[in-house]
Structure 1
Amino acid sequence: MIRNTRSGWGSISRWFHWILAAAIIGMIGFGWWVNHVPARPDRFFYRSIHADIGYLVLLLMVLRLVWRAANPTPALPADSARWTRVAAGISHAALYLITILVAVLGWAHSGAHAPDYSSFFGWFHVPQFTTPDREAARAYEDRHILFAYVLLALIAVHVIAAAWHHYIRRDRVASRMVASDAGTSR
């Protein structure tokens, strides 16, 4: 099934989830590496690649949110406690919000940095909404890094919650994100 149902995630939602999961985890690791590479001639190149992938992550997140708004969200099992429903809603909203915030802060850093990171893989220039300013660039970068760590913590909570659903509750909530036929509960 392509679209979501009240009991399972559709293939497009699953693809968005796993592509973004791999991209975000990869970007956090790559960003950490880029920031810990000693100053060298190709550092700008690596930071440009990081920015290019960040623009893609932002675009995919917006598309994912549009897709999510146009599709039903699979319900948690009927026997789920109210606190787990609230926690799930808050954690998913925080994941979306912080992912977008990290990407937008990176984009703001790009425009404030001189030279900027607007060249998208050499194909075209991404419009920048900030202007060159060394102090602002440092501030945007510091916040970009801070919220990347917040995002990493939220991802850890998400993975722990998925493991809890899969191994402790055994309610198939986590397996719905792996296969479309896993949408039914036992």
Structure 2
Amino acid sequence: MTLKNTHDRWGSVSKSLHWLIAVLILALGIVGLTMGEFPKTPKYFWIYTMHKSIGITVLVLVVTRLLWRVYAGAPQAIPGTPSWQQRIASATHWLLYVMMFAIPLSGWLYDSASGLRPFKLFGLFDMPKLVAPSDQISQVSHAIHEWGFWALILMVLAHAGAALFHHIQQRDATLVRMLPQGWLNIPQKESA
């Protein structure tokens, strides 16, 4: 397997970034949905700081992934894929990128506008504030962060559903080429 993407398959760097970001977003979502229920103890503040730190990590990984995609390119569409499906897939991918930028940035903006002291990224150093304290910016950025998460969930479900449709119904390599070599080897349709 190569590091760089080929014309018909994602390389190991793209795959690793894809799945690492997916797992981190899943963990962030679970923690984000449940952390409001925790009692306000030192452990709560530690969990909150970890949520913010991992969110910034996702932002850095998404930037890395986007730069890698520009450098390494992307595989061509599976032969025979209708152009309308290619356009929807492309739009979905770019919307996922927009959401993966908007959610951590809005969280950082919310933290900045809330007037709280700066959080320490993984306890190592203070993260800079993006704006001065502001109730209006705090409310808007919190809404973007919260509703953006739900929009991201819908986009991820559509993305995963399309990949499964291609794998199960179309019997093409759309899903398989983003998985580690040898996973889910369902025989492909015969070419006409």
- Give TM-score, length-normalised by structure 2: 0.89
Amino acid aligned to 1:110: D
Alignment-derived partner of residue 22 in structure 2: 21
Alignment-derived partner of residue 41 in structure 1: 41
- CA drift of 1:139 comes to 2.4
Alignment-derived partner of residue 33 in structure 2: 32
Alignment of 1:1-186 (within 5 A): 1-35=2-36, 37=37, 40-42=40-42, 43-180=44-181
CA distance in structure 2 between the partners assigned to 1:83 and 1:54 by the alignment: 34
- SS state at 2:72 partner: coil
- SS state at 1:47 partner: helix
Amino acid aligned to 2:41: P
CA distance in structure 2 between the partners assigned to 1:117 and 1:159 by the alignment: 36
Paired residues of 2:10 and 2:177 also in contact (CA < 8 A) = yes
Amino acid aligned to 1:40: K
CA distance in structure 2 between the partners assigned to 1:45 and 1:114 by the alignment: 18
Paired residues of 1:108 and 1:130 also in contact (CA < 8 A) = yes
- CA drift of 1:172 comes to 1.1
CA distance in structure 2 between the partners assigned to 1:99 and 1:13 by the alignment: 16
Report percent identity of matched pairs: 26
Deviations 1:133-166 (A, max 9, x none): 2343232112200001000110000110110011
Deviations 1:92-118 (A, max 9, x none): 000011110011100101111232453
- CA drift of 1:132 comes to 1.8
Paired residues of 2:113 and 2:134 also in contact (CA < 8 A) = yes
CA distance in structure 2 between the partners assigned to 1:173 and 1:147 by the alignment: 27
Paired residues of 1:9 and 1:180 also in contact (CA < 8 A) = no
Paired residues of 2:14 and 2:65 also in contact (CA < 8 A) = yes
CA distance in structure 2 between the partners assigned to 1:161 and 1:86 by the alignment: 13
- CA drift of 1:41 comes to 2.5
Unpaired segments ≥5 residues, structure 1: none
Amino acid aligned to 1:32: L
